Amino acid sequence: MQIQNLVAIDTHVHIESNTDSAADEAARKYFRETGPRTSPQELAEHYRSLNIGCVVFSVDERLTGRPQVPNDEVLALAAKNPDVMLAFASVDPMRGFEAVSEVHRLIAHGARGFKLHPPLQQFHANDRAVYPFYEAIAAAKLPVIFHTGHSGIGTGMPGGGGVRLKYGNPMDIDDVAVDFPDMPIILAHPSFPWQDEAISVCLHKPQVYIDLSGWSPKYFPPTLIQYANTLLKNKVLFGSDYPLITPERWLADFEKIAIRDEVRPLILKENAARLFGLNG
């Protein structure tokens, strides 16, 4: 990805299968998302038309019945569109030795990082059973995006669709940051109701970042804006949560909040470019 012509890098873009499950319908209702479905290649062309780069992935989970787009297809999509896409892979870390083997295979095939969703994959991030999985990623010095906080998936469904919010507490990830200090970590989303905890972990651990996906910026709490403008200005990243939130919607609302002029380019592109080692 050559970033000189990009206006931003979206660090949180889902490649979704063309399903129509109850969980999909509930999520679209929660996010008020009514746009048409797009193919993966149409997504790439859309981001190219916006001059925005993106990190793409599809989550490996079995709780909701929403099928994963295979990691190899995500990698192939990014390889076909390297000017605008970086491919992250997703593997359920509770699959044990199989998961570790798959990490090694996917890294060899070009994965630039990994996406985990503890509430959907049903694990505590600091469960020692997952540590061999982290060790494989840390050895390659690749980043991991962890879903944190509330889950729009399952919201409004009976029993929350089986999604247990406790797995989204970012304090679990503080242990991971201690034990794997060379593995970059991205706390995805303003971590409601644990936003202060996420800010504290990001402030305390040098390799931890926060992406701002999953919420319209107009809902960002004052504390998050304060830290994004000051102590965390080099550690906060633009992310949309496409397709549930489009980059156009997110960026339009971002223009209206009190982010300092000198901080905006850091959040929109420069912090991600540095984190991912992208060329200028």
Residue with tokens 């800010």: 199
- The Cα 139–Cα 130 span in angstroms is 15
CATH placement of domain 8-276: 3.20.20.140
The pLDDT of residue 47: 97
Query: Domain residue spans in the chain?
Result: 8-276
| Helix or strand holding residue 202 (H, E) | helix 195-204
Does the reported pTM lie above 0.75? yes
Judge contact between 167 and 124, C-beta under 8 A.
yes
Residues belonging to the chain: 280
Q: What is the mean pLDDT for each group of 10 consecutive residues in the chain (280 residues)?
A: 90 85 58 69 96 97 89 97 97 95 98 98 97 98 97 90 96 98 97 97 98 96 97 98 95 97 98 90
User: Alpha-carbon distance 44 to 51, whole Å?
Assistant: 11
Cα–Cα separations (whole angstroms), residue 280 to 1, 2, 263, 276: 9, 6, 18, 12
pLDDT of residue 265: 97
What pLDDT, on a 0 to 100 scale, did the predictor assign at position 37? 74
